[in-house]
Amino acid sequence: MFEQLVGKLPVGIGVVNENFQVVYLNEFFLDRLPHELRGDYKEKVVTDLFEGQGKFLKRRLKSVFVLQHPSFSYWEQRPHIFPFKSSRPITGEETQMYQNMEILPVKDPNTGERLACIFLQDVTAQASYFRTQQKLSEALKKEHEAQRKLIKKLDSAQSQLIQAEKMASTGQLAAGIAHEINNPIGFVNANLNTLAQYASHLISIADGVQEQINAFGEELAEQITSLYESNHYALLKEDINELISESAEGLMRVKEIVENLKNFSIESKEGVQNIDLCKICQQIISLVSAQYNKPLYKLDYEREDVTITGYPGPIKQALMNIVLNAAQATAQKGFVKIYIKEENQHIHVKVLDSGHGISQQNLKRIFDPFFTTKPEGQGQGLGLSVAYTAVKQHQGKINVSSKEGKGTVFEIILPKYFLVQDAEK
């Protein structure tokens, strides 16, 4: 019964002696022998019966006889030790049988002769599955690599888009600058023309006075008076100062515009630093309340040491511009409040005012460069676009909500840690 069982096991079992001669083979091996050999395989050398990897098999058998230790060989290192066909090909590809082989040292219980038992397993199914998985994982790896390349391409396309957007807004900016600068330049120019005429009159008065003094005649006083009159001296005297101070004001405006435009770049010599937001807001409040002389400014914070990292100049400028707008929108009895809190690695600075508010229609345009509702000469419309640029560059954002006649809330959200972009490093 036991012999029958061993004979029919679906694994190969063979026994050889120290001369590698076959002592026993079960049906797994026998079925794979050529017909003519099936009757008398005994005492034949195992590697003569099965060609395959004879040298390797002999070496393993020898080591088992000498060391009296089992030896194992896995299909991945030696897939086909015996030249058997696959009994159950999984796919059309696998025609050869993949094998795991174990050789165990045994002893003949009657004679005490040293023998080796070869134990052979057909692992074609596992091997085939494993190889398919390997191929799949390689394909996945390739796909992953392709995706990585695609993401890189997308990234660069995105930064190009951002750049294009920047260029477009720079174009918009340039058009705005041309418009704004044209105005002061226009009147400086006109004033200069008038000044040139006035100067020529003044020169002729001076020349005439000189001549008269030289002649020093009797009618001198009379003639000088008529000279002054014919050159409109009284008007000249009055107008000339006005023209000069107006021209100077025009030039100041040009200077201010150019100064403000410089704020569009956050490139800063000071570099990235720790910024104490409470301290900055305190400074802004004292500056603005001194300028507008309104009593109701208030600063509130959860903790006193709310800091972020970033460029101090542009951050200060952004907050200043927003607080200034709030102060300008608020009447004498109104209030401006700043509230600072920290949440999820972000700092929220809320600037609330009880001012005139912003209409729904204007709300869409307040961040546009040169958008202003203030009278000519009072606002350049650059404050919020400068603030927006600075906050965006610090990877933050600005939210606004406003009710006409009630007031406005600007919320600036800044990450606690500013990561300098590659391009800015």
Ligand X SMILES: Nc1ncnc2c1ncn2[C@@H]1O[C@H](COP(=O)(O)OP(=O)(O)OP(=O)(O)O)[C@@H](O)[C@H]1O
Residue 366 interaction partner, one of ligand X, Mg ion, none, beta carbon < 5-8 Å per kind: ligand X
Binding positions for ligand X, 312-351, rule CB under 6 A: 321, 325-326, 329
Q: CB nearer to Mg ion: give 325 or 330.
A: 325
Q: CB nearer to ligand X: give 47 or 373.
A: 373
Binding positions for ligand X, 384-413, rule CB under 6 A: 384-385, 408
Residue whose CB is nearest to ligand X in the complex, by number: 383
Binding part of the chain for Mg ion, among 159-167, 281-289, 377-385, 401-409 by CB under 5 A, reads 377-385
Give strand ranges (E) for 212-321: 273-276, 297-301, 307-310
Please select the residue that binds Mg ion; options are 325, 330, 354, 385, rule is CB under 5 A: 325
Least spacing, CB of residue 173 vs Mg ion, in Å: 16
Q: CB nearer to ligand X: give 63 or 183.
A: 183
Coil, strand or helix: which one is 228? helix
- How many residues bind Mg ion (CB under 5 A)? The answer is 2
Give strand ranges (E) for 306-380: 307-310, 336-343, 346-353
Residue 396 interaction partner, one of ligand X, Mg ion, none, beta carbon < 5-8 Å per kind: none
Binding positions for Mg ion, 378-417, rule CB under 5 A: 383
Binding part of the chain for Mg ion, among 111-119, 206-214, 319-327, 340-348 by CB under 5 A, reads 319-327
Q: How far apart are CA 151 and CA 9, in angstroms?
A: 55
Please select the residue that binds ligand X; options are 372, 411, 415, 416, rule is CB under 6 A: 372
Please select the residue that binds ligand X; options are 379, 392, 395, 416, rule is CB under 6 A: 379
| Residue 201 backbone class (left: φ over 0; alpha: ψ -120 to 50; beta: rest) | alpha
Residue whose CB is nearest to Mg ion in the complex, by number: 383
CA distances in angstroms from 299 to 11, 207, 296, 335, 341, listed in the order given: 85, 66, 10, 11, 11
Asked if 383 interacts with ligand X (CB under 6 A), we say: yes
Least spacing, CB of residue 361 vs Mg ion, in Å: 18
Residue 408 interaction partner, one of ligand X, Mg ion, none, beta carbon < 5-8 Å per kind: ligand X
Q: How far apart are CA 101 and CA 73, in angstroms?
A: 5
Q: Give me the half-sphere count of Cα atoms (radius 13 Å) on the Cβ side of residue 411.
A: 10
Cβ-Cβ contacts under 8 Å for 194 (sequence gap 6 or more):
239, 243
Beta strands 297-301 and 336-343 are: parallel
Binding part of the chain for ligand X, among 157-165, 181-189, 210-218, 382-390 by CB under 6 A, reads 382-390
- 388-405: buried (b, 16+ CB within 10 Å) or exposed (e) per residue? bbbbebbebebeeebeee
Nearest to 6 by CA among 37, 27, 30: 27
Residue 380 interaction partner, one of ligand X, Mg ion, none, beta carbon < 5-8 Å per kind: ligand X
Least spacing, CB of residue 327 vs ligand X, in Å: 8
Nearest to 265 by CA among 308, 319, 324, 313: 313
Least spacing, CB of residue 259 vs ligand X, in Å: 11
Question: Are 381 and 362 a contacting pair, CB within 8 Å?
Answer: no
Asked if 358 interacts with ligand X (CB under 6 A), we say: yes
Task: Name the residue with tokens 């004679």.
Answer: 111
Give strand ranges (E) for 82-166: 99-107, 114-122
Least spacing, CB of residue 215 vs ligand X, in Å: 59
Q: CB nearer to ligand X: give 100 or 325.
A: 325
Question: Are 306 and 342 a contacting pair, CB within 8 Å?
Answer: yes
Q: How far apart are CA 20 and CA 15, in angstroms?
A: 9
Question: Are 345 and 415 a contacting pair, CB within 8 Å?
Answer: yes
Binding part of the chain for ligand X, among 2-10, 116-124, 195-203, 373-381 by CB under 6 A, reads 373-381
Asked if 176 interacts with ligand X (CB under 6 A), we say: no
Asked if 169 interacts with ligand X (CB under 6 A), we say: no
Residue 371 interaction partner, one of ligand X, Mg ion, none, beta carbon < 5-8 Å per kind: ligand X
Asked if 354 interacts with ligand X (CB under 6 A), we say: no
Q: CB nearer to ligand X: give 310 or 357.
A: 357
Other Cβ atoms less than 10 A from the Cβ of 36: the count is 7
Binding site for Mg ion (CB under 5 A): 325, 383
Binding site for ligand X (CB under 6 A): 321, 325-326, 329, 353, 355-358, 362, 366, 371-374, 379-385, 408
